[in-house]
Every structure is written in C-alpha cells, then in structure tokens.
Structure 1
Amino acid sequence: MIRPATPTDVPVIRALIHDLATYEKVPHEARATEAQLTAALFGDRPAAHAHMAVDDTTGEPVGFALWFLNFSTWRGVHGIYLEDLYVRPEARGAGHGKALLAELARICVERGYQRLEWAVLNWNTPSIAFYEALGARPQDEWTVYRLTDAALTALGTQGPRE
C-alpha cells in the first residue's frame, strides 16, 4: 500500500534516510533533523513531498519516496524530481519500490507533468537494473554538478550584491 506521508511519519522517514545513507556508504552525510523534515514536508510552504510504502499485513512503513517539483523550460511544465527512494532490505522484492514509482508516475500523468527524474549511483547495479526494467533510461549525456559546504559558501559570499 502506498499513501502520502503524514507528520507522524517523520521519525520513520528520518530513520529510512539514515538507512539509505548507510547503504550508500555515507551515513555521516545524513544530517537532516526531524524538525527540518517536518518544516520541509508539512510547513506553511512545503518544499517537498513524501509517500510511504506500507506493509499490507502489518501496516508498518517499509519504504518511502521523497520528491519535489522541478520545471522544464523546454517543455514549459513541471515534473517530479525523486530525491530519495528507499525500501528496507527485508521488504524488497514485494513490489514496494515499483508501487512508489508508479504512484509518482500517476501524479505526473494526472497533473500533466511530463518528466519523472532521479539520480542513481553508478555502482548501484541492482537499482539500475530495477529502473531499466521499468523503462527508465539513463541520461548519459549529462553530468551532475554540486556545490556544498565551503565551496558553496565561498561562491555565495563573493557574488554580486544589489
């Protein structure tokens, strides 16, 4: 079962984010607090959205998808950027990951969004095979760039001021 996250899910979402970071071999990078997640997902102006995969038998959350809207200047419409998708190892193979992606695809179709995008680590071959089996294709002609920490601060403090 897939359902929108609620504020009571925030501790579970935080735990799943930490589990994902551990799986991706960077647990020290998962620094989001429950207060930050609550504000981002359920504040006055939510910046992101989340859906929960729930075990049909126990009712316990076993995975999540955290996403936000992006915008295509070329197509002139929004899309969804999937920031994180994670299903606990013991719940994998039961269709939760596919159901989460299908729900996001349904939202895209219903709202007229024309893209559902995400990134996957190059070494994560099980996820790559899963995504490609669903019809997703890598965008090999693009390279992702990121500014964080000291580099972001350095650039942000030397930029033009009005």
Structure 2
Amino acid sequence: MPERSPPEPPTLRAAEPHDVPAIVGLIRELAEFERLTHLLKVTPETLHPHLFGPRPVAECLVGEAGGRVVAFALFFTNFSTFLAQPGLYLEDLYVQPAHRGSGLGRALLAQLGRIAVARGYGRFEWSVLDWNENAIRFYQRMGATVLPDWRICRVTGDALQAFATGLPPASTP
C-alpha cells in the first residue's frame, strides 16, 4: 500500500477577485452559525466592488486548505480620536468547522495584528457575540480584552433613512 503524504498545512493570503464567491459562501455559513441569516443580503456582485472596485473600503484575508478557501477575515480601517491614530477593525472572521483547531483562526488574527503594527495603527478591534463563549475564550487566550462596558449602536434600513433626517422616529401605535 503506498504511503499517503500528510495534508499540506493551511495557508493564508490576501483575497483575490476570484475568491469573492467562496468568501460569500463562508459569510453565509457564518450567518447560519450566528443565527442571523435573516439579515443576509450579500452576493458576489455586491461584495466585489467593496473589496476590489475603484474605491475599496475593506480588505480580506483568506485561509486555504487543500486548495480550497476555508476561512476568511474581512477588515477595514477605522480611527481613534483619543489616540489620533487609525486602527484596524475586524468585521468578520470565520473558519469552517472542519478546519477549526488547525491554527487558521490564530494565524488570521496574528496576521491582522502584524498588518496593524506594520501600518502604525494604534488599535486592533472587533466584536464578539456575548453567547459565543468559545470565541470569547479563544480571543482572551490570544491576549484580547473583552470590554464589558461598551455596547454597539446600530441603525440600518428604514431606520437609517429616518435617522438621517434628524427627526425623532415616528411613534408606533
């Protein structure tokens, strides 16, 4: 019986335009995991210009195993007025369940940390759902502090349109 060679270790790289469909597939998996599929509107056509169009607003790293994209980290630049420095904000990180424990998540976070340091950023931040205890423990083991006193404020859709007028929202009966 011929010997099998061990599988190649996962690799990281910057996402390329041809990766967009795979990234969208992983975003769908993430939405299912987070029980947020009702909010999902992303398609390859809507994501592509934001990563690779004339004015990209986000960047993405992908993790590959066996020649397939099995993980991603989508991030963008934010700004801290207190530090007077830009920062790196990780919008989403996802590793397919079969590849968790392979070091891909740790490698993606470490690479983002290196990017933040290389660019002279003052912070590297992200959010985590309060019920995702596994992720919280993982991030804390990596050295992250989960801030207990901060809450995310969000306005989207019709509420955003109303918010933009500066008027209070219409009262509901």
The TM tier, using the shorter chain, reads over 0.9
Q: Distance in 1 between matches of 2:74 and 2:160?
A: 24
Give the equivalent residue in structure 1 for 2:24: 14
Structure 1 residue 158, shift from structure 2 partner: 4.4
Runs of 4+ in 1 over 6 A off after TM superposition: none
Q: Distance in 1 between matches of 2:16 and 2:57?
A: 15
Aligned-residue Cα RMSD (Å) equals 1.0
Corresponding residue SS for 1:157:
coil
Corresponding residue SS for 1:69:
strand
Aligned residue pairs: how many?
157
Q: Does 1:121 align with 2:92?
A: no
- Mark the CA change 1:109 to 1:158 in structure 2 (over 3 Å): closer, same or farther: closer
Q: Could you tell me which of 147, 152, 155 is aligned with 1:147?
A: 155
Corresponding residue SS for 2:108:
helix
| TM-score (norm. length: structure 1) | 0.94
Q: Which amino acid aligns with 1:120?
A: V
Structure showing the higher helix proportion among its residues: 1
Give the equivalent residue in structure 1 for 2:53: 43
Q: Does 1:138 align with 2:141?
A: no
| TM-score (norm. length: structure 2) | 0.88
Give the equivalent residue in structure 1 for 2:89: 81
Q: Which amino acid aligns with 1:81?
A: Y
Deviation per CA, 1:107-137: give whole Å up to 9, x if none.
0111111211000000001100100000101
Q: Distance in 2 between matches of 1:142 and 1:28?
A: 25
Q: Does 1:69 align with 2:83?
A: no
Structure 1 or 2, whichever has the larger Rg, is: 2
Q: Distance in 2 between matches of 1:85 and 1:7?
A: 18
Structure 1 residue 87, shift from structure 2 partner: 0.2
Q: Which runs of 5+ in 2 are unaligned?
A: 1-10, 168-173
Q: Which runs of 5+ in 1 are unaligned?
A: none
Corresponding residue SS for 2:139:
helix
